[in-house]
Amino acid sequence: MSTRIETVEGSVRVTGEMTVYTASQIKQPMLEAIASGPANVQLDLSGVSDFDTAGVQLLLLSYREARVSGRTIELGAESKIVHEVLNLCGARRLLMDAPKVGIRP
């Protein structure tokens, strides 16, 4: 399955896989979509079909890059696999702590 990054009215929507096999392909388009969006970007991961630690790293990188550029990211909708992996590896806690460093989950 191919992975697509779409920007729709202040929202960045990822559809497909966010895995070790796709991370290098989607990293730049995802960061560009966030950088070119509004100051507060809604991240929609409801269409993500597969998600592993490379996807987690990409998500954390996106939050960091948004912060550096004075933007915020809100994690909006998420697929079941994204929900499970973020909870399993503890990354959700990192994202929940994000407001303390100037970014929002």
Instruction: Decide: residue 27, CB within 10 A, 0-12 exposed, 13-18 middle, 19+ buried.
Output: middle
Mean pLDDT of 26-38: 90
* Residue 22 binned pLDDT confidence (cut-offs 50, 70, 90): very high
- CATH code of residue 9: 3.30.750.24
pLDDT tens figures, 38-91: 888 899 999 999 999 999 999 999 988 988 888 888 888 999 999 999 999 988
Residue 43 structural domain: 4-101
pTM for this prediction: 0.84
**Rounded Cα–Cα distance for residues 62 and 56 (Å):** 10
How many folded domains does the chain comprise?
Answer: 1
Q: What is the pLDDT of residue 59?
A: 93
Q: What angle do CA 23, 68, 86 make, to 5 degrees?
A: 45
Helices first, then strands: H and E counts in the chain: 4, 4
